[in-house]
A = this chain, B = another copy of it.
Amino acid sequence: MPIEANNPNKKTWISVPENSDFPIQNIPFGVFLTRDDIITIGTRIGDQAIDLGALHQLGYFDGIPLTDDIFLQDTLNDFISDGQKTWRLVRNRISELFDINNKSLQHSSAHKKIVLFSMDEIEMQLPVQIGDYTDFYSSKEHATNVGSMFRDPKSALMPNWLHLPVAYHGRSSTIVPSGVPVRRPMGQTLPKDSERPVFGPSKLVDFELEMAFITTDANLMGEPIPITETEDYIFGMVLFNDWSARDIQKWEYQPLGPFLAKNFASSISPWIVTLDALEPFRTASPVQNPEPLPYLQLKGNHSFDIQLEVDITPENGSPTTVTRSNFKYMYWSMAQQLAHHTVNGCKINSGDIMGSGTLSGPTPDSYGSMLELAWQGTKPIRLNNGENRTFIQDGDTVTMRGFCSKDGIRIGFGELSTKLLPIFKSKSKK
């Protein structure tokens, strides 16, 4: 079934800047605080944010089975729970309303005044209440690079890596939206040639360029999701920065995986771009050899051609793009990840978030972390201002962008921009 809202010929009566990530073919979902300090669910076309709660109250969603308060909430969880059929009806209706040939809202300045906000008068919020957050490790290039450094190049990939999408559970409580600064963590590290750890600020704070998908309620506990059905339960995707403290990670991660090295912060872009909007940009995943077990096999194209880039902007400086990668390099598809995640009956809820793992490409300028780009500090990255970086410094802002582009249509994720603050100093209250 073609998705009406994806029609590439559709024009909108909202002014859309050239190269905007948000043409009328995108229609992402997010949560924002309006100029009147009200939290609402919305979408975006060009540089206009659209209050879906207000649109619904004005009757523009009549005929679609929605509860009255579905958009008057501070998270998208309930709307996501409504399921794929409802997401499509709503997205198609929005597309119709903002179609240049549709006069209803276009010609009602009273309604437009209530419904439309310019992006600079709203504040984007975390779009979902995240129940559980899982991070995969599905880029073969990244796993090989890190395995080479943390262990040795000969056994860089663990024996299980080519047979299953390796993953671990992360911390939901510290996932923040774009714009919220994060702090350099304190922690234990093991100095070189020492047997005793020391305590202090992490010296090796890094970004990880990832994307993440957000699910709807998918199964009962104990019941796997067959791989053929997995994509029905994926609402959409965001950019994801899995902040990492490499020195803490190296000392703590065995045998149970990363913990404090990761759980101090993760950042996500605030607009969830639906899997439907990404449909025209499907592409093949890398060839898998050996062939995976049957429960992980799925014919067709299940990756997406999403171009990714990361800038570092020093305090009072200008941005330097330090890497360009692509989501399509990911070895294990989202369908495979979700089939694997649930094959043991693990329950998936609305608002769960699953990270891709660092999306490193095949060439050194497409690696997805400073650890790899500057190869453990041995190949510093030169910034525009002449400074070098091997890891992220206090005051640096890391900005991630992602977009698909084909046949004159560009669907993007906007920016995920996060500043690194220095370590926390407790107030001298004692």
Contact = CB atoms under 8 A, between A and B. Distances in A.
B263 A196 contact: no
Interface string A58-97: 0000000000000000000000000000000000000000
A176 B188 CA distance: 34
Interface residues of A, number: 71
Q: How many copies of this chain does the complex contain?
A: 2
A160 B254 contact: yes
Contacts of A258: 256-257
Interface string A250-267: 011111111110011100
A147 to B, nearest CB: 8
B344 A185 contact: yes
A260 B173 contact: no
Interface of A: 131-132, 137, 147, 150-151, 158-160, 163-164, 166-174, 176, 182-183, 185-188, 190, 195-199, 202, 221-224, 226, 245, 248, 251-260, 263-265, 290, 293-295, 340-341, 343-349, 352, 421, 424, 426
Given A169-B170, A172-B132, A222-B182, A294 B199 contact: yes
Contacts of A245: 344
Contact of A252 (B147, B160, B190, B256): B160
A344 B248 contact: yes
Given A256-B137, A258-B256, A293-B188, A344 B223 contact: no
Nearest to A342: B260
Given A169-B170, A264-B345, 19 more contacts: A131-B172, A132-B173, A137-B256, A150-B255, A160-B254, A166-B252, A166-B259, A169-B169, A174-B345, A183-B221, A185-B345, A199-B295, A221-B265, A253-B256, A257-B258, A260-B343, A260-B344, A260-B346, A263-B344
